[in-house]
A = this chain, B = another copy of it.
Amino acid sequence: MQADFSSWAAAHQSRFEQVLQALLPPAGLAPQRLHGAMRYAVLDGGKRVRPLLAFAAGELCGADISRLNIAAAAVELIHAYSLVHDDMPCMDDDVLRRGKPTCHVQYDEATALLVGDSLQTLAFQLLAEHRLSDDAARQLAMVRLLAVASGSRGMAGGQAIDLDSVGKALSLPELENMHIHKTGALIRAAVLWGAQCGSVSEVHLDRLDHFGKCVGLAFQVVDDVLDSEADTATLGKTAGKDADHDKPTYVTLLGVQAARDMAKRLHADALDSLQEFGAGARRLRELADFIVLRKF
């Protein structure tokens, strides 16, 4: 089953890379430096966790793959834009991402700023120019979902809370609130989007939303554990940064063992929310395993 999951994920990752290649502006198109930098920031990197979640939820709900490709690309572009801006000197000031120099290091800060801006715009452009639902009004609702998940009351808001939290002693609920916004909102949106590209009842959508919430939070807890233990080469990004920056993490708040236990509880809760879906939810279950059990 594990080998089978790996093949499934690798096939999607490989196909999705081609999808992104085709959807991004060509490197030869003016302004070339900007377009080259956009491609640098998005292509050839990342585990594509959000797209895989969208594909798995979409397969469960009978979604058309061409629609899933666009939905997954939009979510991944939003994610990529947030990484480019996060890595900038005025934010996390990081030099390494996915084993490569960060965008502002490889190019320059002004270009990185415009890359992030343009990737966000491109995400919304894709959603407006490709048909994701037979019902255009429903598609507008999906666009709204992504906007809310990524804006000041979602991902960007989580980063603002993160900035405010440096050097502060957050409580566990405060840390959770930050991560539910910062990483959780977009992961939930990826699952919901995948499902909505197909056919899904409101009740099932609620279960999938809970699954996405648990997986999103587990993802962050595991990230904190890995960050506290791994070295930079294994991680592909600078290790131990959050603790160095005096940022609260699940590990600094709970200790490594309690953080691992928390990830396991979230994992169980995520699987529990898929119970009524039967065999069709197999890839979602495997993704939950993958996210929580990697490197443990």
* A33→B164 contact, CB < 8 A: yes
Q: Decide: A121 near B137, CB < 8 A? Known: A110-B91, A110-B163, A160-B114.
A: no
Residues from 108 to 133 in A contacting B, C-beta threshold 8 Å: 108-111, 113-114, 116-118, 120-122, 124-125, 127-129
Query: Contact partner of A136 among B30, B114, B129, B136, CB < 8 A?
Result: B136
Are A113 and B141 in contact, with the CB atoms below 8 A? Answer: no
How does the 8 Å CB contact mask read for A237-255 relative to B, with 1 for contact and 0 for none? Answer: 0000000000000000000
Q: Which of B34, B124, B144, B159 contacts A156 (CB 8 A)?
A: B34
B121 x A152 contact (CB < 8 A) = yes
A93: shortest Cβ distance to chain B, in Å? 10
Which of B110, B129, B148 is A144 in contact with, Cβ under 8 Å? B129
Chain A residues with CB under 8 Å of chain B are 25, 29-31, 33-35, 38, 81-82, 85, 88, 90-91, 108-111, 113-114, 116-118, 120-122, 124-125, 127-129, 135-137, 139-141, 143-144, 147-148, 150-153, 156-157, 159-161, 163-164
Give the CA-CA distance A151 to B29 in the complex, in Å: 14
CB pair A120 B118 closer than 8 Å: no
A247 vs B85: C-alpha distance when bound (angstroms):
26
Indicate if the CB atoms of A113 and B88 lie closer than 8 Å: yes
In the complex the two chains form, what is the Cα distance from A122 to B91 in whole Å?
21
- Give 24 pairs: A residue, B residue, CB < 8 Å, sorted on A: A29-B153, A30-B161, A31-B152, A31-B161, A33-B164, A34-B152, A34-B156, A34-B157, A81-B117, A82-B117, A85-B114, A88-B113, A90-B108, A90-B109, A91-B110, A113-B113, A118-B151, A121-B150, A124-B124, A124-B147, A125-B151, A136-B139, A139-B140, A143-B143
